[in-house]
Structure 1
Amino acid sequence: MYFFSSRAMLIGLLSTSSVQASTIDWEILNTTVQGRLHTAKPLASPCFSVYEGQPSPSDLASCTRIQKNYTSSDFRTQFYSGFSNSQDEICLARAADQCLLDNSVPTDVLAFGGNKSCGQGSVSPYYIDVQSVGDVQAAFNFASATGVSLSIKNSGHDYLGRSSLKGSLALWVRNLRDMSRNPAFVPEGCYGVEGTDTITTGAGVNSDEVYRFADQQNVTFVGGYATTIGVAGGWVQGGGHSVLSPVYGLGIDRTVQFKVVTPDGVFRVANSCQNQDLFWALKGGGGGTFGVVMEATHRVDPNTPLTVAYIKYSQNSANIGRWLEILVENGLQWAKQGWGGHYVASNIISVTPLLNLSEATASMEPAASFARSNNGSVVIEVLPSWYSFYIKYVIPNQAAVGTLRFLASRLIPASLLETTTGQAALLSFLNHLVAVGFSPYIPATAPYLFPYAANSTSATPAWRDSIWELGMGAGLAWNSTVAQRQATIDLQRNLTRMAEDLTPGGGSYFNEALPWTEDWRASWWGDNYPRLLEIKKSYDPHGLLKCWKCVGFEEQVANTSFPCFSAFGA
């Protein structure tokens, strides 16, 4: 990263940027945010000797450090330019507009040697290291005056390109990392309300940090399945599923207050007693849309023992079909028993707070018996807390980073598993996924047992009668061509249509859906969308906040605002 230490440096940097604003505009902004305006190049840029077609000395020491840590999410989250997934960093539609290493062998000179040019991609050339409400207000004023687009980023744990935007001014909130616990929290402006045990997290707090803090407080924070998920940002604002969600609800079910700067520059408190419309919108309407959340307050529960099942087998083409049958045949029963986890083609890692060891052993016997007869292994154990499960199972099994990976998903309603006809249709689709080269990925993370208050959140209502989120993700090589990307997207688009036909009237998880979902309004928000659009217009009438297929997207010019995604269709 670079700092604006002089006017001459600023002018030089402006000449390499596609952002259109005058030198004096940027100087005033930098002064207003007390020198926290910085420039950024892609993470791997120190390894390249050419940047944007011009000679640029490489930095061996920095390059070596980046290569060593290229696939570390914890390393990437330290930097504005560190994104978990490459589609957020590159310009998908322009193969030359990227600056990537080979994630499988980061030292491979084929990626960066010779005269390979490092392209800026979708990494914002300028970002503010946000430290205060005033920094955000200054950014909104700047965007309003100059027309420069804005983007919002914490750790960049994002699959839909929402935390980056080519040519934008980025608001990097990673350093808003305050945390506190209040065992009797009452939302501001609420009176005569019983206090709730909560943890308040700044916008930059990631899951690893809050899990550690919660464990020290002897409470459980319900969060995602990775170390660097921002718990106050896109994760919770898009719904926020967890392997604990079947019993404890989604992240949006547990958030009791947001503090947010809306695009009109007002710092607001949103909860059930004030700014209720904004509170509802933030509970499922999507991050980076209604304002910049500075902090969120989440309900927590006492630590409790969890029963865990880790079952794996030696997979081959002859036995995978039977394994998928077992998942389908037992999926509804497991949901009723509070099991939440990840079911994949070769194993199960699942957890429940509702069963003891003997009950869990009996529950998982169909899968365990199959695994033992197919050279597998079975571990069913009781761990003392969520944090112990997180350390033993989540950290070693979190998704890889530094890769180009598109997600696609569909929520699977419980009703589909209630009949033999529905089970057969679902199994047929799972077998089709295998036949076309996809490995079924099934997070059992829907809030099936959670006592939901109707209309209390704005995410798709389809969550409430579902048990699974069926994933159809696909990875591509760092040096894939635009044609290869298009072919993969087209295949996922077709699979998404098939999943929609399987689950008419259903929905999908906004944070893990195919970015090119066709009927995205219905799929991600259902009947909630019209109200969300009204709220968007009331707090952001000039459209200062925009991101790919976020609320209000249809009123933005897709081809000019999102050149790196729109080439593959809207």
Structure 2
Amino acid sequence: MLLNAIFLLTSLTAVALAIPAFDLFSLNASVKGRLHTTQPLALPCYLSYSNGTTTQTNVPNIAACAEISTQTSNSSFIADHPGGYITSNFGICQTTQQGCPLGVADQVLQTCHQGNVPSYYVDVREPSDVAAVLAFAHETGVPIVVKNTGHDYKGRSAAPGALALWMHNVQPPIQLTPDFTPEGSSAPVGPTLTYGAGQGFQGIYETAHAHGMMAIGGTSPTVGASGGWVTGGGHSALSPTYGLGVDNVMEMKAVLPNGTYVTANRCQNQDIFFALRGGGGGTFGVLMETTSRVYPELPLQHATIIAPNLDLVDGIHQAVSLVVNNTEQWSADGWGGYMAAGVKGVGLIFIDMITPKLTLDEAKASMKPATDFATALLPNLSVPITVEIKTHANYWEYYNSAIAQSLSKQGVGTGVAMASRLISTQNFATPAKKSQLIDTFTTYGGFGSVANVYNAMTRAPDPLRAITPEGAYQNEGDTYEPNPEESFWGKKNYERFLAIKREVDAGNVLTCHQCVGWDEGDGRFGCYPQVR
């Protein structure tokens, strides 16, 4: 009850937005009273609050503050709050360093700033809510963003002085259809799940398992299955066997920037279907519902190999060599998940991967190079290693395993700067190519202040960019990718995406940082620090 009071719309006066109060009341009426002021998650911990327009006294709520402080690594708790962001650096305006962080020793004596948290949000429940907000944005020029859980490594659901479409409560009952037929089609496509825009993978996996099926998705329960994950491609530990999220989508329903609610699939609204499956979140339309393939459950082999000590300097090169030299075979064997070698704070070797393609004996044979490498380290390590290959009865059992649950919490409630590249089979074609990869992977970049962290992170992959021109996975790519059009989509795809964007949203009512057709000077990007 204490927390609920934080998010009531106590006033419809303009907060960091030059909007007449009458217009706000009009919008509130059109969305059935679901317009609210967005307050930073940690506001109950502060004596003073600056909402972007005024600074005022705030009455701390000690009980609410204590609860929030214990939930900083709980992604579900953060996702349930409109002002919460899984990667906390995007709730802060990083150009001014103003925000409302938790964990500041004397935070009660300081001021909680609105930072990068949108000033208002509409608690979306139906397509008409989205259409009303889009019409309001067209009429007033108010910047809008689309937010579900705030689980975004690039901050695309945050913006200063913006109005957010909060999609998190669009969670109608998940529907399993044994043999789904897309609208406008005469041919069924097999078993599917249909779920709303606010649904995370926790509910999807649980529903699929209850019907003896498994879905393709991410590790964290708060990744938006019908949002940024799928519109960015949708990588999964099961992708080596079943493809990406976009490969499995059979139908999508979305509100276009002009307010029209459409059903898109391979038979109708094909351009929108193409754009929503990989064109990036919050760009071409606001997704309300997705229908995706599911597959019969089957046993999975699960390999966990961890050598956490970095005392062996020469071992780093050996570990990287192990990964590079076995990647092609492991991919062919269906292994997917997490793998690292020689990473500070992670270990000399870290493997946590699953495959549905192999028996237990075949899995042990496939992973023998890694288990041999790890066990050979035993006499030289000061801490124990983990070497385990076992069978899970199904994906739901793996998802609930201790290590999978632990991985799902990585980075939650902390600041994150990420960069990545996609490595093509051409990079493994010859011994010389593999050696080039090994040498590149063993390079290291340093870190410093916030802006310098981004500088270091965006420069660190440069040697890798030079030998992997194919690109990067946009959801986990560099926030400051130097050539996003080529890296995230490729020239031919980008040209098609841009043509669709100009047709459906010439005014960029829906936009995000480094998304198709974005304007770098848009005020929504004012809290991204400048790099390079």
Q: Which TM-score applies when normalising by structure 2?
A: 0.92
Superposed displacement of residue 542, structure 1 = 2.0
Superposed displacement of residue 557, structure 1 = 4.9
Counterpart for residue 395 of structure 1: 405
RMSD, aligned CA:
1.5
Which whole-Å deviations, capped at 9, do the CAs of 1:176-229 have from their partners, x for residues lacking one? 1121110111111112x1342100010000011111111111101010121110
Counterpart for residue 158 of structure 2: 164
Superposed displacement of residue 320, structure 1 = 2.4
Rounded to whole Å, the distance in 2 between the matches of 1:145 and 1:314 is 56
CA contact 1:507–1:523 (8 Å) conserved in 2:
yes
Rounded to whole Å, the distance in 1 between the matches of 2:9 and 2:375 is 62
Work out whether 1:486 is the aligned partner of 2:451: yes
Work out whether 1:198 is the aligned partner of 2:192: yes
The correspondence for 1:356, drawn from 356, 359, 370, is: 359
Counterpart for residue 185 of structure 1: 180
SS of the aligned residue for 2:193 comes to strand
Counterpart for residue 508 of structure 2: 543
SS of the aligned residue for 1:415 comes to helix
Counterpart for residue 91 of structure 1: 93
Rounded to whole Å, the distance in 1 between the matches of 2:265 and 2:328 is 34
The correspondence for 1:339, drawn from 325, 335, 341, is: 335
Q: Residues 232 and 356 from structure 1, CA distance in 2 versus in 1: closer, same or farther, beyond 3 angstroms?
A: same
Rounded to whole Å, the distance in 1 between the matches of 2:320 and 2:504 is 46
Rounded to whole Å, the distance in 2 between the matches of 1:561 and 1:131 is 24
Give identity over the alignment, percent.
Answer: 37
Superposed displacement of residue 560, structure 1 = 3.3
Counterpart for residue 58 of structure 1: 60
Work out whether 1:385 is the aligned partner of 2:381: no
Rounded to whole Å, the distance in 2 between the matches of 1:276 and 1:533 is 15
CA contact 1:37–1:126 (8 Å) conserved in 2:
yes
The correspondence for 1:428, drawn from 434, 439, 461, is: 439
CA contact 1:510–1:524 (8 Å) conserved in 2:
yes
Q: Residues 314 and 167 from structure 1, CA distance in 2 versus in 1: closer, same or farther, beyond 3 angstroms?
A: closer
Counterpart for residue 44 of structure 1: 42
The correspondence for 2:8, drawn from 3, 8, 14, is: 3
Rounded to whole Å, the distance in 2 between the matches of 1:57 and 1:322 is 57
The correspondence for 1:565, drawn from 511, 525, 528, is: 528
SS of the aligned residue for 2:262 comes to strand
Superposed displacement of residue 268, structure 1 = 0.3
Moved more, 21-30 or 396-405: 396-405
Rounded to whole Å, the distance in 2 between the matches of 1:320 and 1:363 is 22
Rounded to whole Å, the distance in 1 between the matches of 2:456 and 2:89 is 17
Q: How does 1:165-244 map to 2 (within 5 A)?
A: 165-178=159-172, 179-191=174-186, 193-244=187-238
CA contact 1:258–1:269 (8 Å) conserved in 2:
yes
Q: How does 1:119-138 map to 2 (within 5 A)?
A: 119-138=113-132
SS of the aligned residue for 1:564 comes to coil
Moved more, 304-313 or 393-402: 393-402
The correspondence for 1:282, drawn from 276, 279, 289, is: 276
Moved more, 284-293 or 540-549: 540-549
Moved more, 372-381 or 229-238: 372-381
Superposed displacement of residue 541, structure 1 = 2.2
CA contact 2:299–2:391 (8 Å) conserved in 1:
yes
CA contact 1:4–1:38 (8 Å) conserved in 2:
yes
Work out whether 1:80 is the aligned partner of 2:82: yes
Superposed displacement of residue 381, structure 1 = 0.8
Superposed displacement of residue 561, structure 1 = 3.6
Counterpart for residue 443 of structure 1: none
Which whole-Å deviations, capped at 9, do the CAs of 1:262-321 have from their partners, x for residues lacking one? 010100000001100000111100110001100000011100110111111242242222
Rounded to whole Å, the distance in 1 between the matches of 2:386 and 2:495 is 50
Moved more, 294-303 or 410-419: 410-419
Counterpart for residue 155 of structure 1: 149
Counterpart for residue 31 of structure 2: 33
Superposed displacement of residue 430, structure 1 = 1.5
Superposed displacement of residue 566, structure 1 = 5.5
Rounded to whole Å, the distance in 2 between the matches of 1:361 and 1:42 is 49
Aligned length: 504
Superposed displacement of residue 490, structure 1 = 1.4
Rounded to whole Å, the distance in 2 between the matches of 1:234 and 1:561 is 18
Counterpart for residue 255 of structure 1: 249
Rounded to whole Å, the distance in 1 between the matches of 2:25 and 2:140 is 13
Q: Residues 4 and 378 from structure 1, CA distance in 2 versus in 1: closer, same or farther, beyond 3 angstroms?
A: closer
Superposed displacement of residue 51, structure 1 = 1.0
Which whole-Å deviations, capped at 9, do the CAs of 1:292-351 have from their partners, x for residues lacking one? 100000011100110111111242242222111111111111111111121123310011
SS of the aligned residue for 2:165 comes to strand
Which whole-Å deviations, capped at 9, do the CAs of 1:45-103 have from their partners, x for residues lacking one? 110111114321211111011001112101111111111002321111111x111113x
Work out whether 1:109 is the aligned partner of 2:118: no
CA contact 1:151–1:163 (8 Å) conserved in 2:
yes
Counterpart for residue 520 of structure 1: 484
Rounded to whole Å, the distance in 1 between the matches of 2:9 and 2:359 is 59
Work out whether 1:532 is the aligned partner of 2:497: yes
Counterpart for residue 381 of structure 2: none
CA contact 2:44–2:65 (8 Å) conserved in 1:
yes
Rounded to whole Å, the distance in 1 between the matches of 2:522 and 2:178 is 49
SS of the aligned residue for 2:421 comes to strand
SS of the aligned residue for 2:219 comes to coil
Rounded to whole Å, the distance in 1 between the matches of 2:259 and 2:296 is 38
Q: Which TM-score applies when normalising by structure 1?
A: 0.86
